[in-house]
Structure formats: structure tokens, C-alpha cells
Structure 1
Amino acid sequence: MKQLIIIGSGISGLACSYYLRKKFKIKIFEQNDYLGGHTHTHLLENEKIHYDSGFIVFNDKNYSNFIKLINALHIKYQKSNMSFSVTNDKINYEWAGKNLRTIFDIKNIFTIRYFKILRDIIRFSKLCENSTLIHDYSLKKFLYKNNFSKEFINLYLLPMCSSIWSSDLKDIKNYNTSFILNFFKNHGLNNILTKRPTWYTIKNGSKSYIKKIIKIVKPKIYLNEKVIKVDQKKKYIKTAGNKKYNYDHLIFANHTNQIKQILDGPEKKQLKLLNAVKYQKNNITVHSDQNLMPKNYKNWSSWNYLYSNKKLVLTYWMNLLQKLSCKKNIFVTLNYDKIKKDKIIKKISYEHPLFTNPLLTVDKISNAAQGINNIWFSGAWLGYGFHEDGVKSALKVRELINAK
């Protein structure tokens, strides 16, 4: 059998190994000390409770390929809670909920602020339905051109978008308009009166599916093995340990910024693809400090956005998201450095993609770059940045390799 090297062990790399297991001898190289990338499960000390800090949820409407995969692996999952709150301490403002009935408190529903938000939600919904007519410009320009209120922008739309893509406000404003409107439309987020998808979380932590894939594929795994060079002409990789490994085909299942550092002599089409999507770093703290949660306990939600002019500050309440049975509250917070030290459980960092280009443009560039010198690209960054996109990209790579 021919040799396949996969760089990166997130959902995209693991899915590639699963789908191509009968065609190749597979080696997986991972620079971290664990498999999974953003699939990162932790064990609560002294209790047999697993929780996640990266990939957490998926739904029954938009994750068909991922669900098909984990069903084939016989992975158990349960319903999750996807409530969302926004807190802005500067104006003493909080809201939380899943729909209009809970977002708008009856005592505030007739205020000017709430009226503006409601009015613009309806307008935004209509524009989402006609998203194909939207030109490819930034979200900031779109909101300005359509005269959306500051209340809707700052207290509703931007916090939601910022939370979905783990991006700062300044970056979200530069996201491509069509990219966001199509996502909202496809996920039923454009109309908060309609029925939303049912969301799920994997029982005993998301790493459950990793174990099953590895058991089936039986790849040779290299943990803590950073690849520092890929010579696509001579078809070998070199690791930080100064070891070389030959391959027949190679799949990049890591981030674009990482690929650019190690791909020797990239072709123009490859470089164009790698420049299409950039990344930003987010610092993650797992903790039990409830000061990051809304002041009103009734507003405590699964996703809790704390308004900041600088970095995104978002707190996941894992007890609600993953139905943890422990009495201790487990929170996962992005980009907040004032958490009480005695409440900190662990610190992690992840990188998330920035989507400033239209999805169709990235897809077109990707098609042109795939397969040059038997180099392939797989990653959630080729879609909307989620697990379903990672699986879809793996299926696409399998299709292209089989057709070659």
C-alpha cells in the first residue's frame, strides 16, 4: 500500500484517516501531546466527569456528515442547551434566552432600546432570506449601508457573531457579509420565532470518537512531533527531531498559518489558498469563578458574552452545556485575565480562523490548489469553521484522491 502522511489530528485529519484507511498506510503527525486539536476533553479531578474546552456541540440540521460518522462509530450523544446571554456592565444591561419571549423582559419590551433591536431583527431576517443579492463586502459596511441601530449591532448581532466564531469585535466587523448571512439563514438564526435545530453534545466528552477512529484505522501516531518542513518535490517531511519520512500523498489537516511555515516552495495556487484564511489566537481558562457570569442568576446561560471593546470575552457554562453531574460549576472562558487564581483549573490556547473572504471564493481557490504534487488540504477553515466542515473537507479529499 502507498504511504499517506496526515499533518494534524483534529476532526479533519482524523476523518481523512478514517475515510482513506483502506487505501493507504497512514502516519499521523501531531505537534501537541494529545490527539484531537479542538476536540479537547478533560477529566475533573477526584470525579469521573469529562468536559470539553474546544468542540462541544453539534445539531441535527447542519451536521449531517458528522452525525453519520459518529453514528457509524456508535458514539453516544445527548441533547444540549444552547441558551445565550449578553452582559454590558457599562450600561447595566443584560439579556438572555432562546427566543423573543425570553430575550425581551415584559417590563422592558416597550422601551426604545428594545423596540430598535426588535425592529432590526425583523429587517435583518428579511435580508438573510435574500442573502444571494448581497454584494461581497464587509459586515461593517453592510450594517452601515442598511442603517441598523447601534442597539441591534452592539447588543445583539455582534455579540452573537463574535461568540459563534470566537472572534473579536473588530475582526467580526470585517467578516464577509454573504458568509454571515448565509450561515444565519442555514442555521435558522435569522428568524428567532422559528424552530431552531436540536443541539447535542457527546457523552463522556468529545474525545470518545477519537478513540474509536484510532481503533479502527490503526494509524502510526507521532505525538509531540512537530513537522518543520514538507518537501513536495522530493516527497518527504522533516520533523523538529531531525527525522525524515517519505510519503506518496500528504494531507495538510492543520492551520493555514502553520502550513505556510513548513511547505517548501509552495506553488502559486497553493499560496493563494493559504493566504485566503488567516488565524487568531484565543486564550482559554477553565475555572469556577462565577464573577464572569451574568449578575442575575436567571440570565445564566450556556453561552455568556461579556461586552468588551477589546478582546472577545465569552464564558461557557459547562454544567448546562454538557449536563455535568458535579456540584461544582465548571466554566470555560475565552480571553479574560482577571479570574481569581484560586478558581483557575487550567489554561489553554487555541487558534480560530478569520473569515473575511466569501465562502464560494475560498472553495474555488481550494479546488485549484488540491492535488498539486499529491498535496491535499483538509480543514474546517475550508467551510464555516466547524466540525461538519472538517468532515466535509475530508470527504472532498477522499473523492479527489480516488478520482486521481
Structure 2
Amino acid sequence: MKTLGIVGGGITGLTCAYKLQHEFNVTVFEQDNHWGGHAQTHRIGDAEVEAGVAVAGELTYKEFFKLMREINFDKFISYELSGFRVHAQGETLLYFDTNAKRLRQLMPKFLKESPASIFKTIKLVPFIYRLYRDYRKGLLDDVMVMDAYEMYPRYSEQVATVLTVLSLITAVSLKNVSIGHIFNFIFDTENNHGWTDPISELLKTFKYTKIPEGGVGAYINRLREKTTASFNIGSGITKVERNEDGTITVVNKDGKFFRFDHVIVATQPFQAASFLEYIDEEEREIFTKLANFVTHSIVTNHTDSGVLDHIDPAYGLVDYRIDSHDDVSQVTIVKADHYYTSQLLPDSVDPKKIKKGGFSNAQFTPDNYSINPEKILTQHIHGTQQMMPETRQLFDKLIERSGEGNLYFACAALSNYPTSQEGGVRSALRVVKELKNNN
């Protein structure tokens, strides 16, 4: 049986290992001390805190849920978005609530504070239809999210709300991604070429959104349990090199050499740039450019309820703040026993210099929207590949070259979906199909 090395133990790499375990002798390398990449769960006291947003829409995460059913993982519970606010420079622009009982309780207070916002909210409906119509015409394929404010100058508040809603569904930051890329994920045009009603689709997506019982770490553990492979954790890779005889050499941080018949690089392209030995200048150029297109965000799990003291916390409440359309966006999701807050880092901030408690020390927002450092449970710096028209072209070239010299590339960014579990699974399935066809 031929040998297969997989660099990266996130959901993409683990899916590849699971799907190919009967065709190859599989070895998986993961540089961190945990499996799953961003899909990991930390248990602190009674709280299950996540490194990434632990939500999955069953209507949009189609291949992901197929995989979960295949490995007999069904411990998902419904997740209801029970509130939504959008802020700009500390001022509430829009508010809506998908829970009728909460809506009746909160709307009188909200109308008193901002009576004009009800009319802004009503304007959402025709704007969503216009946005969807332009998307179906292909007018938004290369329009960046932040450029939507210039494209639709009369709908600035509605742009803020629609894009933050889509960002929540796809777990993608608002910066450096095209609108068309996000819509591809929501409306799945890859498998659905006909017109669909965007309002009903969005409502269904919220209705069928779920979270895994036990955290995302639970399904990562199940995926590993169902996979026969050699797992090497805490094994960072320093070199991946294609040999003249068609084999591939992988070297880990301890200087140990491994030789495989095939290798899958299942990491973000900007990570692969640090260890891949290039075979020509085009490949070098692709990875060098992708390494420069990265967006960093800081994710904080905390128990400080002061950030949402204007209303009673409820499971699933989402509070968005867009304080600078060019630099910063923030989202806070109230979980059962803690708060999950993600904040996009401005380009001027060096993520390597951010320490624990850095969220509150950074003071990015003008209205002192901060976290008490003493209430922080966990904090992570995330780097995600930017999804821009230029990077899309580079990804297409990388997909074309996947398989050359028996080296394959897979990650969520190399799919038609934003960085997410669904994108990771779909990218893995593409490589699995390529490998099976070539062998």
C-alpha cells in the first residue's frame, strides 16, 4: 500500500485522512498540541469555550453535515439567534430580534432610544432583494465588502446590517473578502443555479443553525476515532520537498526525515509558505503573495457581562459593533455561561505583540467597548487568508497545480466558500477525488 503524508491536523487534514485511510498508509502531522485547528474546545470550569465560532448552518454546511452523519456524530443542538444590534461609532444603527417574545420586551425601549431605526430596519427588505439580484447578475463577484458602502451610498446602515449578518452565518471577518464569495456560501450557487428567495433562505439558515454538544472538539475527537492513521501532534514541519523519483520528503522540527509517495498540504497557504520547497518561480510567486494577504483577529472568551449591560443576557444574543469600516469590526455572542468576542485587528497592529488581555488594552473603539482582563478565560490570535479577487486568482492557479509531483493542496480557502468547516471539508473532498482518480 502506498504512503500518504498529511501536513495539517485541522478539519481539512483530518477529513482527508478519514476518507483515504483504506487506500493509503496515512501519517498526519500537526504543529500545535491539539487537533482541529480553529475547531477546538477548551473546558474551563463549567464553561466550554471555543477558539472559533461554534455554529454550523445545516442548509449551508451540506458536505460538513454529510460527513458528520457518516461518522455517526449527531450531537448537535439548535442555536437560536435571539437578538441582533449593529453599532457604528458607538451609536446603534439597527436592531432586530428573531424571537417574538424578546422583541416585544425590548422594542419599546429600543424605539424610545432610537425611534428612526425602525424605519431603517424596514428598508432592509428591498435592499436585500436588490443585493441578491445584483449578485445573481455577477455584479458582486469582485466587489469587496467594504466597497459596498460606495456602491450603495443610500443604504449605508442596511449595508452594515446585511454584511454583519452574512459574516455571522459564514464565520468570516468583514474585511478583505468579496461579497460574491460570501453569497456563494449562503446560496450555494455551485449546486443551486436557480433563483431563490433571499429573505426566506436567510431566515431558514438562522432556524437551522446548530452548535455541537460538547463543543467543536467533540466532533474532531469523533473524526479521529474513526480514522486509522499515524498521528503526530506537536510535530511542526520545516520542509516539504519533491524528489526526482516522484516521492516527497517531509522534515519535522526535530530534524526527522519522512518519505512518502504522496503528500497533502492541508494548511493555510500563508502557513505553507514557511516550509514548502518551491519547484519553480510561479509557485514561489503564488505562495509569497498569499503570505502577504492575511487578516488577523483576536478572539476572547470571557465572563465580563459589562459589554452588554444594556439588556439582559440571553443565549445566542449577538452584538455587532462596526466602529471603523476600514479597520475594526467586533462581534459578541452570548453563550450559556460566557461571552465570545471576536475583534478584527487593524493592519497597523502587530499580532505577535498582542499578549493576554490585549483586547482591552488595545482600546480600538471610541466608546470604551472593552473586556476586563481579569475576566478572560481564553484568548487566541487567528490568521485567516484574505478572500479578494487577486487571491481568488492565485487560489485558482494553486488548484490547477495541485497534484504536480504528487503534492496536493487543500484548505478552506481553496474552495468556493469562506474559511469555515464547510470549506475545509469541500476542499478535502476535491483532493480525495484527485488522489483516487490518479491511483
1:28 and 1:182 map into 2 onto residues whose CA distance is 31
2:80 paired residue number = 81
Give yes or no for contact 1:31–1:225 (8 Å, CA) kept in 2: yes
- Of 398, 403, 410, the residue aligned with 1:371 is 403
2:183 and 2:62 map into 1 onto residues whose CA distance is 21
Give yes or no for contact 1:50–1:204 (8 Å, CA) kept in 2: yes
- Of 235, 241, 250, the residue aligned with 1:225 is 235
- Of 331, 356, 378, the residue aligned with 1:314 is 331
1:145 and 1:86 map into 2 onto residues whose CA distance is 23
Give yes or no for contact 1:40–1:53 (8 Å, CA) kept in 2: yes
- Of 114, 126, 133, the residue aligned with 2:137 is 133
2:437 paired residue number = 403
Deviation at 1:184, TM superposition (A): 4.3
1:132 and 1:92 map into 2 onto residues whose CA distance is 31
Measured at CA, do residues 354 and 166 of structure 1 come closer, stay the same or move farther in structure 2, by a change above 3 Å?
A: farther
Give yes or no for contact 2:83–2:98 (8 Å, CA) kept in 1: yes
1:333 paired residue number = 341
2:354 paired residue number = none
2:36 and 2:335 map into 1 onto residues whose CA distance is 19
Give yes or no for contact 1:167–1:312 (8 Å, CA) kept in 2: no
Measured at CA, do residues 189 and 10 of structure 1 come closer, stay the same or move farther in structure 2, by a change above 3 Å?
A: farther
Give yes or no for contact 1:122–1:191 (8 Å, CA) kept in 2: no
The CA deviation string for residues 370-398 of structure 1, in whole angstroms up to 9 with x for no partner, is 10111111111123211111111111111
Partner AA of 1:145 in structure 2: M
Deviation at 1:213, TM superposition (A): 2.5
Q: Secondary structure at the match of 1:355?
A: coil
2:213 paired residue number = 203
Deviation at 1:225, TM superposition (A): 1.4
Tell me how many residue pairs correspond in the alignment: 389
Measured at CA, do residues 37 and 343 of structure 1 come closer, stay the same or move farther in structure 2, by a change above 3 Å?
A: same
1:165 and 1:262 map into 2 onto residues whose CA distance is 29
1:54 and 1:112 map into 2 onto residues whose CA distance is 35
1:304 aligns with 2:319: yes
1:229 and 1:34 map into 2 onto residues whose CA distance is 21
Deviation at 1:35, TM superposition (A): 0.7
1:10 paired residue number = 10
Give yes or no for contact 1:43–1:50 (8 Å, CA) kept in 2: yes
2:290 and 2:98 map into 1 onto residues whose CA distance is 34
Q: Secondary structure at the match of 1:150?
A: helix
Give yes or no for contact 2:14–2:223 (8 Å, CA) kept in 1: yes
1:295 paired residue number = 310
2:123 and 2:281 map into 1 onto residues whose CA distance is 47
Deviation at 1:149, TM superposition (A): 2.3
Measured at CA, do residues 124 and 94 of structure 1 come closer, stay the same or move farther in structure 2, by a change above 3 Å?
A: closer
Measured at CA, do residues 267 and 399 of structure 1 come closer, stay the same or move farther in structure 2, by a change above 3 Å?
A: farther
1:150 aligns with 2:156: yes
Residue ranges of structure 1 left out of the alignment (5+ in a row)? 320-328
RMSD after superposition = 3.3
Deviation at 1:87, TM superposition (A): 4.9
Deviation at 1:78, TM superposition (A): 1.6
Measured at CA, do residues 141 and 236 of structure 1 come closer, stay the same or move farther in structure 2, by a change above 3 Å?
A: same
Deviation at 1:151, TM superposition (A): 2.1
Deviation at 1:194, TM superposition (A): 6.3
Q: Secondary structure at the match of 1:81?
A: coil
2:347 paired residue number = none
Measured at CA, do residues 63 and 166 of structure 1 come closer, stay the same or move farther in structure 2, by a change above 3 Å?
A: closer
2:346 paired residue number = none
Measured at CA, do residues 201 and 193 of structure 1 come closer, stay the same or move farther in structure 2, by a change above 3 Å?
A: closer
Give yes or no for contact 1:87–1:294 (8 Å, CA) kept in 2: no
Q: Secondary structure at the match of 1:392?
A: helix
Identical pairs, percent:
20
Give yes or no for contact 2:322–2:328 (8 Å, CA) kept in 1: no
1:117 and 1:358 map into 2 onto residues whose CA distance is 34
- Of 247, 262, 270, the residue aligned with 1:249 is 262
1:70 and 1:288 map into 2 onto residues whose CA distance is 31
1:357 aligns with 2:357: no
2:421 paired residue number = 387
Give yes or no for contact 1:11–1:37 (8 Å, CA) kept in 2: yes
Give yes or no for contact 2:302–2:378 (8 Å, CA) kept in 1: yes
Residue ranges of structure 2 left out of the alignment (5+ in a row)? 190-195, 344-358, 361-369
Greater CA drift, 83-92 or 302-311: 83-92
1:191 aligns with 2:190: no
Measured at CA, do residues 294 and 161 of structure 1 come closer, stay the same or move farther in structure 2, by a change above 3 Å?
A: farther
1:144 and 1:268 map into 2 onto residues whose CA distance is 37
2:355 paired residue number = none
Give yes or no for contact 1:269–1:369 (8 Å, CA) kept in 2: no
2:379 and 2:145 map into 1 onto residues whose CA distance is 32
Partner AA of 1:177 in structure 2: I
2:251 paired residue number = 238
1:20 paired residue number = 20
Greater CA drift, 103-112 or 179-188: 103-112
Measured at CA, do residues 362 and 128 of structure 1 come closer, stay the same or move farther in structure 2, by a change above 3 Å?
A: farther
1:388 and 1:22 map into 2 onto residues whose CA distance is 23
1:180 aligns with 2:185: no
2:263 and 2:201 map into 1 onto residues whose CA distance is 46
1:199 and 1:363 map into 2 onto residues whose CA distance is 29
2:15 and 2:173 map into 1 onto residues whose CA distance is 29
Partner AA of 1:73 in structure 2: I
Deviation at 1:142, TM superposition (A): 4.3
2:398 and 2:201 map into 1 onto residues whose CA distance is 37
Measured at CA, do residues 194 and 218 of structure 1 come closer, stay the same or move farther in structure 2, by a change above 3 Å?
A: closer
The CA deviation string for residues 253-287 of structure 1, in whole angstroms up to 9 with x for no partner, is 11111111211124456456544683322222221
Give yes or no for contact 1:167–1:354 (8 Å, CA) kept in 2: no
